[in-house]
Structure formats: C-alpha cells, structure tokens
Structure 1
Amino acid sequence: MILLRLLILLYTFGLVQGLVGDNLLPLNPFLGILEVGEKTADQPGPTIGKMEKRGYYTSLLDASAISATLRPDSYAMYQFPINTSSDTISNYQAIVFISGNICELPDGWNDTDSNGLSIYYTFNQTQWQNLDYKSMSSFDFYEGYAQELAHAQLTDADTNALTLYLTVVSESCADCLSDNTWTYEVGISQSNLVFQWHNESVASVVDTDSTSLIVWIDQGNASSSSSSSNNGSMTDLYNFFIYDPEDFVFVAGLARSWCAMKQGASIEYNSSSAVVSSVYRGGTWKQQFYFDSLTPNTTYTGYMLENFGDSNGGLVFEPFQFRTMESDECTLIYDLDFCSEVTYSVPTLPDMNNVSELAEYYDSNAKHFYTNFSYALQQIPCDTEMDARFSVVKTCDDCAASYKKWLCSITIPRCSTRNITGYQLYESGHSRLDKLNVESEIRPRSDYYEVLPCIDMCNAIVRDCPGDFSFRCPQGNDSIALSYYWETGGEYPSCNTVGVSSSSS
C-alpha cells in the first residue's frame, strides 16, 4: 500500500508515466483501454460477460490513436481523462472529438449495409461499468468510418476531473470463424477529429494515356509571379492510393477508412514515387502529380489521403475514377517550356518514344509559329495614352495570352483513343495542320481521335485582340464542328481548353 501511494504521488508530479497492472486503473491522462470481454449467450445485445484482462494502452497523447482487434459478440472498454484546463473548453462545456476506422472486416462478414461495429460513450462511470447501453449515447461505423462530438456540461465538481468512457461493441456474425476479427482504430482529441472523411474529391483528373495519369489539387488563388517554393510545401501532405478492379474488392464497405485505404491499395504514390510539382494553371497554383506504370484500358479507383503530419491520423477524400487509354497512340506530356499550360495526351510520333523529347518537339513547333504574331503585336500602340489604345478594357498582354493558348491548342492536338461525339478521326501520318496548309513534320505514327479545341478559345482572341488582326471565328454548330467543338458535359471532355482539367475523370 505504501508503494502504491508513493507511485501515485510520483505520478501526480509527473515523475512516473504509463503505470500498468492487473489491479490498477491506467494513470495516464490520455486514452487507455480498460478491458475487453465477450457477451454472454443468455442475454440479448451487448451485456456484461466474461472479462478478459488485456493490459492497458498507456502514455498516448491527445490526438493519438489506438489499434485493436475484436471478435464477434465482443466489446472493448476505454477511458479518456479530459484536460479541463484545455483552451478548447469554454463556457463550462467540454467537447471531445471521437473518430474511428475499420481497417479490416472479419472474413465471414457479408452484410453490405452495416460494418457490424458501434461505439457507445458516456461521461458516467457507473453506466459504463454496468454496460448500460440504453443510457449511453452511440454511433455506428459506416463504410469503415465513424465520428462523433461528445459534449459534457461542466459543473464546479468537474473542474478538476472529468472522464469520457467508451465501449466498442461488435455484432454477432453467423458465417465467421472463431478467429475472425474486426481490426479497427479509435482516436480521441479535444481539438479536432483524428480521422476525417470529406464527401468531395479535391483531386482533378487532368488526362491519361495508356499507362500514366496526371492529377491536380487546387492550392488557391495566387499570382503567377509568386514563389512556387511556398506552394511546394504541400507536397508531403498527400498520398494517393490507386486500386485496380481486382484489388478494390479488398476495401469493399470500407471506402471511408484511413487505415483500410493504406493497407489494400494496388499502387501507392507519394512524394518519392510520383513526379510532384507546383504549377500555375488557370489562374491558380496547383499541386501536380504524375503517375505511371498503370495498365492500359483499365478503370481505376483513386483515393487521396491528406496526412496530419504524423502517422496517427488524416483525411480521406471522396474517391475518383479514371480509365487509361487502350493503346499507345497517345502520350501524356506536361511542363512544356513555351506552351506551359499544355497538360494532356498528344499523338505519338515515330521514333520519339521519350516523353521529354516528344514534349520538346511539340513545344518548339508552337513557339516557331508564335514568332510572327509576336512581331505583329509589337506594332500595336499598347503603352500609349489611354485614348489611343485599341481598348479601354483589354491590353496587349490579354491578347498575347489568349492567342498563345489558342495557338498551343491548334498546333499541339489533344489525342484520344476513344470514339466520342465531337472527336475527329485522323489517320496515321496526318493531323489538323494538314487542313491549315501548314508545313509541319508532325506525322503521327497511328490513327487517333483529336479532342478539338473549344470554340471559346477562338472567341477569346476575337474579344481580346485589336481589330487590326481581323480575327474571325466560325458561326453555327455545323461550321464550328469542322475545326472546334463546345462543352457538353459527360464522362470525358467534349473539347479541349488549355490549362483546364478534364470536366470529368
């Protein structure tokens, strides 16, 4: 007894942490598991049964997570002493964030509408110890994820001590074997959810070819002259997990689970296994991810996970799907020097299997055509008095930017292997430059479908450039469809706008 009092005294002053024993409650001020048990067969629902002491999880900090397994018809009990002096407590009310993931379902679990796990919680120790579920609050796991905010109104008696009590309860499983278990994680914090799920995908599929993919993540508005190094700090925040149809079965029913995503992916990409960069596209900084080594003509499901700076938790975004092209008639190029906003697949050229060489060839070709326009634009009085300028709204810079986008889309055709309404078929050795009577060495090695430029890009140069150039665009759908197309929505982009991701993956 004297030893026990001494240890408690030492703990009180921070000299001992993580005390564990068969007859002692956890002394750490964070999350600890108290006991696990099996429900008795003669009582319905989750009830007190045979207890199985399993030791304590100790010395876990606020915002940490524990991992555990649970057999069918069983429960695990936890407690979380609340820091009543925390900045998150105001107006005598304590808020605790509870979140959890199911990493793996039992092999025999066949219920597609339920994950079979629930969390009961209370601030009343007696309810918790007696497993008085009717008096406790509860929430269920769905798609491998669960979250809840536990509120407690503080009284004067609670200002020094308040504890949140939890019980994780599993359902019965008729088709499970005795050793089949749920593997799950639970995280508790007084500041935020340890695990999170967002019902939107922030990853935009830009384009694919037969073996590679480019994805953008919008980083917000910024000037293109801003330093990209600051925007690049986001690189290590994200992991991508790509599932092919066969491996996606592994996470069926667990689409919102942080740990399930990390365990079962066909391919994992992060800052060291993908080509990652910060790019300025469409007026905003974007994080760009280039993935390769994919399989042609395959539909993949992609998950983006955001790390919270450690291994304890993070955010799962709504998944996105994409399909690789059937064959290598098209090659995905990006980060061009002149046509910097070109990020899409182009017709593959003979004797140019190297992506960098192919990109450089297309880019230099576009730059060559831009030279004459640049000389002509220099003859326009752009910097003269306002009354003498060609427009009080638009500038020569606006004209140059619009013309450059249009020219890049015309001289660098966007390629697809899909026969979709609005796409134009070109046989091997031919391209749209043939129609323009332009001498060019661009002779694609295979038949391909071109995603025609969007008519809006043509209208933009008419709007933004001086009338001296006499730019004109086709009118009427039949005339437009000969060289351009328009946005119609759908699974794939109906026309090509430089610097914009696909309207759908």
Structure 2
Amino acid sequence: MHFPKLSPLQCRFTVSLAASVMVLCIYLFLWNPHFAYAAEIETTNSRLPAAVVLDDYALDLTDDLDDLDDDDLELDATQQNEQYTKRATGDVVTLGGSNVPGLLNIEAGNTTIWHFSNTSLWAPYANATPGLPSSIDDGDTGDSGTIYKRQAASPRLVYISVTTCLQPQWNGSTNQTTIPPQLTLYVSNSTSNKEPGPNGPVREQTAIRLNEGFANYSMNATTDIYMSVHAPDMPNNFTGIWNYEIAASIDNYYHGAHPDSPFLYLVDTDTHAALLVTNNLTEANPDDIVYQQWMNLTSPFTVFVQPTIDKSLDGMRNSYCGMTHASINNASSSVQSGMITRGLGHKPKEQFYIQELNGSTSYFGVLAMEGNSTKTGSGVVGGGGQVWQPVNFQTKADNNCALVFNLTFCHDVAYAVPSNPERYPDQPSLSAVYDSYAAGLYENFAKSLDQIPCNTTLSAQYSPAKNCDDCADAYKQWLCAVTMPRCEDFSSPLPWLQPRNMGQKPINSSSSVGSMPNPNMYMQLQDQMDQQYVPMTSAPSDSNAFRQTYGSVAASNSSRNPSIIVDKIAPGPYKEVKPCEDLCFSLVRSCPAALGFGCPDPGRGLEVDYGERSDDGQVTCSYLGAVYYLNAASGSGPSSLVFAVTIAAAVSLWILT
C-alpha cells in the first residue's frame, strides 16, 4: 500500500497536528483535579473484622476540644457509663448535619464508621456568615475565604474533612526520630458499601491517609454517604490514642489546610523576637470598600510558633485543632498583631511581632485562622479553622541588633538595626532615636527642594518624566535605608554582609541567659583589623584598595552614621545588609541635578556602600518593606503545569520535525 505524497504545506500541517495531539495527551496525563490534599492509598486487609470497634473513651459529639484534658482520657468505668455510651460492634455514628463535626477518640487498630444522612445531604444550604471581607489568593489549591460552591441540580457536592487533634506520644529512650503514624479516611463510593474501611471492597471506596493530621475529599452524592476513620497499629516507642474531628458539608470544607502555601513571611529577627507578615490580603485600591474592610479588622489571623527541636506537633502541622490542643505559643501576651499596609504594593497585610523567644534558636511559625475569622465551631461553614504551611526562621545570636517597626517618619522601616540594650532596653526608645534623627535630616532636604520650581508648567519642570513628589519619595526611601542600616550578627558568614564598627568594643550583654560574650572576641577583632581588606575588586590594580586593612578604612572600622550609631548607640561590632544600589540610582534619576545627588562608581566605593538585589528570595540588600522568600514561595500550581506542558510541547515538536 502506497501513501500519497504530501506537499510541503501538508507536511507542516501533519507535523503540527501530531504535536498538538501529543501536547494534549501530556496535559491530560499531568492534570489532576485536587479533590484531596493527601494522596490516595491502596486499601489492605486487616486483622480486624469489617465492623466498627469504638474505644472505651469515645467522647460525646457535643464536647468541645478545648475541654479535653488528661482527666477526660483517664475516666474510670463508672464515669464512662455515666457520660458516654459505648457503641457495640457494627454501630454507625451519624453526623449531626452539614457543618456539624464529630469528635472521637480511637485506639490503635480500630475503625469508626460515620454516616452522613440523606436528610443532611438535601438540607438547605447554610447562610453565609460574616467572615473575611474577600477571599485570599494564597497560590494554593485549597478553598479559603467565604466563597461557597452551590449545586442546584442533582447530585450534590459534599465536602468531607478530617483533622487529628491528639496523637500518640513518643516514649522511647532516645530522641524521637519518626512522627506518629497517620490515621486513614475511607469514603464509600457505592450505595452497597456501608462499611468502608481496611477490609472494604477496593473498587467501592477511596482511602486517603492523613497528611500531617489532615485530609479532605469531595464527591458528588445523591443519597446517604458512609465513611470511616481507621487507626493503624501502634509502632514501637509510641503510646496513647488518637483524637480526631470529622465533618461533612454541602457548603464548603469545615476544616482547611494549605500545605503548599505559607502565606506568611519572615521580615527579620533579633535575639528575643521575630517579625512576620502575611502576603497582600487584597489587591483593592485604598478608596475601595473591601480595602477599608480589611484595614478595619482587628486580627483576622493568628500565628502558632514552636521550636523546631520540639517534636510534639510533628504529625499534626496541618491540623488547627492539633495546634490548639498542643498548647504552643499563639495569640497570647507574647504576640502582638495588627493590620498594616507597609511593603509590597502598600496593600492590607497582617503583622505579627512575636516576643519571648530564645536567641540563636530555630523556630517554625504557622499562620492560622480560627473558624472563618469571625465565627467558629459547629454549624459554621469553615468553623473548624484553617492552617497554612509552616515557615522556618532562626533568631539572632548577638544582642546588638534589635527590631524596630511602626515608626512615625520612616514608617516603611521594619527590620533589626544596630542597638545597645544597656542604653536602649526597649523597642520604642530605640525607634525614637533613629526616627527623629532621620526626620531632622529630611527637614533640611525639604528646604532645598522648596527652592525648585515644582508647581509650574510641564515644559518648565526639571524633568518631563519626574516631578518633585517623585524626588521627595525617592529621597525618603534612600534616607531611611541608609540612616537605619539593617543589622546582622557579626558572626554571620553571609558573603554580601559588610563588617562595621570593628574598632568598637563589644557590648557586655548576651542573648544567652547566664552567659557572657566570648572574652577573646575583642582581641580577635584587633587581630583581624590588621589583615588585608579588599572590598572593591574592580578598583584599578595600582589603587590603594589592594593595600588597605580592616582597621585602615572607615567602611569596616566605623559605622555608616558615626554621629548616631558609634557615639550615641555604641552597638559594638556588627555586620550590615547594605542598602540596595537601586535606591541611590532612583534618587539621582528622580531629583533635579541642582541638588547635586550622585552615586559612587564601581571600584570607587559602590561595593562597600550598596548591595545588589537577589531574585532567589534572600535579602541581599536592604530596601524598605523587604521580607524573606516572598518571591521564592511557590507550589505545584498551574504555572508549574504550564511550564511542564510547554517543555513537553517543544520537545515533541523537535522530535517530530
């Protein structure tokens, strides 16, 4: 059989059509709707019968988790008979309705079957309760905010979620090396399978192992839904029980978790505190109602903070009720929060100032929301709360850097600056010194700017692209960044940091209680000051830049602002995150030449005065509103899929052609 000979145009069309079909196949293969956060697992046989075995400590469904304590878990037989009813083998627990959670204990190896009735399935949708002013876009695939999905026609979409509130504890003789095993959620997808579980028919159910104490699943249904929660066998070196909460809803998930998005970012730390901030909560403009609604909120979110060395929460980091029951640090007297517009886009954000931390210690912080932010608990859509991906950070080791924020004049400044706790023991007193100094310098600039003809015709202005408002803003950004240098530990090895104040004696304070600074530190600094120091590698080869030492130049031996930092604050040696060079370039471009602004050239001081921005999330130079890893935070969202499909298409087309 002979195929007809194709013309060049037909050949190109055939190749393009084949490539398009292949790309479509790759897309359909890669695309996977996110019906559940946890991956499905194969159901396996168990030694237990396909029936429910409830533990002896089953809690009444109306109990609140906050009331759960050790006494509740150690009730004697008489108290159990009075307060709880032990269900016989084969009993099924019926949920009280849509958005009504069930709370139970479960022992290792046991399975509890749950029932979401046909009556609850076809009940009226819940009225939307006041929650966040608008849904937030955190880049995750989970539902957030108060946007409820409705289905008027049959079947109805049902949202099922489970969270672990209590888990077995490590009782081994060594440090904990593994997390407690996770519970498994089974959901029946057949009316004939009313006992889903480890012994249920594989084709008639879906099994989802909880991920860090959380799993959810959505499905279309026309009648009663049966599901179960199974506890695995207890591994060695663990003891105790699980306590979990399960809910089904026709409106939206009762519990929420966003494991692919932190939505919380580190601003900076000192030895005893950390400053964190959410991403933009809305892109609305200041004159929009939604913008004002966000700014009028008191504290829509909360933050949980725990040392990374503490393993008590490992296995429940995606569970709101797990975090609240773990009694870790959240919105208490040690956490101050409030709405701000500082930073990226000057949009509403929530800021968290977390105190009472230990120096040189690693922590993780988790952004969370109680209920739907205004209401919580049974009957509330989203009443089980939400959590986001943990964010890791470490406090500073030296005690001569302190956080400042919420300033009056330099209101966009929020990071650690050179400090001396002996002279300025609290944040307000230190902030006032820097802020008033910067404001005084700005007054002199404002007088000079007043001499420029700003309110004139466009042809008479000093620039057709910039005006005096642009100049004033650029000068203020530059002034605040250089007047308040961003401070890091002198021991930090980061290559973009500039050593400062090496000629000053270290302060006697220390971040570690009961300890003092290294007594040999001052002598070590004196020895280092005699060593060669070449910060400007682009200088001419015959320049003195290659013959100087740390002690011979002001860049390392003194500070950027000696009159206030060296003489008044006296922080001792520290390292500085240099201001971004684009702040200086913007100042020169925005202001009239008559003011005489200029930036140093490479090899002539630029390297020791300014730094360059990084696109990998690190703060390699200081600019107002900077946070760590804002641009680096990403997940396996649509952009990743588009990238994969694009690469696949290019490869396929190359192969075919």
Q: Which category describes the TM-score, using the shorter chain as reference length?
A: 0.7 to 0.9
Distance in 2 (alpha carbons) for counterparts of 1:186 and 1:133: 22
**CA distance 1:51–1:401, shift in 2 (3 Å):** closer
Match of 1:54 in 2: 86
**CA distance 1:102–1:297, shift in 2 (3 Å):** same
**Partner secondary structure for residue 356 of structure 1:** helix
Distance in 2 (alpha carbons) for counterparts of 1:433 and 1:416: 16
- 2:612–2:620: 8 Å Cα contact kept in structure 1? yes
Larger strand proportion of the pair: 1
- 1:224–1:280: 8 Å Cα contact kept in structure 2? no
Q: Deviations over 1:72-118 (max 9, x none)?
A: 22111111123325453333121110111122333479995983422
1:473-484 alignment runs, 5 A limit: 473-476=599-602, 479-484=605-610
Matched, 1:185 2:254: no
Which residue, 259, 263, 266 being the options, matches 1:205? 266
Deviation at 1:47, TM superposition (A): 3.0
Q: Which amino acid aligns with 2:409?
A: F
Q: Deviations over 1:365-405 (max 9, x none)?
A: 01111112101111222221122222333221111111001
- 2:98–2:249: 8 Å Cα contact kept in structure 1? yes
1:127-146 alignment runs, 5 A limit: 127-129=193-195, 132-134=200-202, 135-146=204-215
Distance in 1 (alpha carbons) for counterparts of 2:583 and 2:196: 70
Distance in 2 (alpha carbons) for counterparts of 1:142 and 1:72: 18
Distance in 1 (alpha carbons) for counterparts of 2:629 and 2:52: 57
In terms of mean alpha carbon deviation, does 449-458 or 276-285 score higher? 276-285
Match of 1:345 in 2: 416
Deviation at 1:410, TM superposition (A): 1.2
Match of 1:499 in 2: 625
Match of 1:72 in 2: 108
Matched, 1:100 2:158: no
1:69-468 alignment runs, 5 A limit: 69-81=105-117, 82-84=120-122, 86=124, 88-107=150-169, 115-122=181-188, 124=190, 126-129=192-195, 132-134=200-202, 135-152=204-221, 154=222, 162-173=223-234, 175=236, 180-198=240-258, 199-217=260-278, 218-222=280-284, 230-247=293-310, 249-264=311-326, 266-269=328-331, 273-282=334-343, 283-307=346-370, 308=372, 309-311=375-377, 312-349=383-420, 351-417=423-489, 418-427=492-501, 428=504, 430-434=558-562, 441-468=567-594
**Partner secondary structure for residue 310 of structure 1:** coil
In terms of mean alpha carbon deviation, does 455-464 or 306-315 score higher? 306-315
Q: Which amino acid aligns with 2:299?
A: D
**CA distance 1:503–1:107, shift in 2 (3 Å):** closer
Deviation at 1:461, TM superposition (A): 0.8
Distance in 1 (alpha carbons) for counterparts of 2:413 and 2:564: 21
1:11-50 alignment runs, 5 A limit: 44=46, 47-49=49-51
**Partner secondary structure for residue 127 of structure 1:** coil
- 2:334–2:355: 8 Å Cα contact kept in structure 1? no
**Partner secondary structure for residue 212 of structure 2:** coil
- 2:52–2:113: 8 Å Cα contact kept in structure 1? no
Greater length-normalized contact order (CA 8 Å, ≥ 6 residues apart): 2
- 1:237–1:306: 8 Å Cα contact kept in structure 2? yes
TM-score, with structure 2 as normaliser: 0.63
RMSD: 3.1
TM-score, with structure 1 as normaliser: 0.80
**Partner secondary structure for residue 626 of structure 2:** coil
In terms of mean alpha carbon deviation, does 289-298 or 302-311 score higher? 302-311
Deviation at 1:171, TM superposition (A): 2.5
Q: Deviations over 1:432-464 (max 9, x none)?
A: 124xx9998544232111111111111111222
- 1:97–1:149: 8 Å Cα contact kept in structure 2? yes
Q: Which amino acid aligns with 2:454?
A: C
**Partner secondary structure for residue 432 of structure 1:** coil
Match of 2:7 in 1: none
**CA distance 1:201–1:421, shift in 2 (3 Å):** same
Distance in 2 (alpha carbons) for counterparts of 1:411 and 1:176: 55
**Partner secondary structure for residue 362 of structure 1:** helix
Deviation at 1:236, TM superposition (A): 3.3
- 2:102–2:247: 8 Å Cα contact kept in structure 1? yes
Q: Deviations over 1:104-162 (max 9, x none)?
A: 3334799959834222223655421486433223322122111100212x4xxxxxxx2
Deviation at 1:465, TM superposition (A): 1.6
**CA distance 1:50–1:461, shift in 2 (3 Å):** closer
Deviation at 1:489, TM superposition (A): 5.5
- 2:93–2:113: 8 Å Cα contact kept in structure 1? no
Q: Which amino acid aligns with 2:266?
A: V
Match of 2:12 in 1: none
Q: Which amino acid aligns with 1:483?
A: D
**Partner secondary structure for residue 221 of structure 1:** coil
Distance in 1 (alpha carbons) for counterparts of 2:485 and 2:116: 60
Where does structure 1 lack aligned partners over 5 or more consecutive residues? 1-42, 155-161
Distance in 1 (alpha carbons) for counterparts of 2:234 and 2:565: 71
Q: Deviations over 1:480-499 (max 9, x none)?
A: 21211112366852111012
Distance in 2 (alpha carbons) for counterparts of 1:213 and 1:463: 35
**Partner secondary structure for residue 246 of structure 1:** coil
Where does structure 2 lack aligned partners over 5 or more consecutive residues? 1-44, 55-84, 126-149, 378-382, 506-557, 633-657
Deviation at 1:234, TM superposition (A): 4.1
- 2:121–2:156: 8 Å Cα contact kept in structure 1? no
Distance in 2 (alpha carbons) for counterparts of 1:388 and 1:60: 75
Q: Which amino acid aligns with 2:392?
A: Q
Deviation at 1:57, TM superposition (A): 6.7
**Partner secondary structure for residue 121 of structure 2:** coil
- 2:51–2:195: 8 Å Cα contact kept in structure 1? no
Deviation at 1:241, TM superposition (A): 1.0
- 1:121–1:128: 8 Å Cα contact kept in structure 2? no
**Partner secondary structure for residue 220 of structure 1:** coil
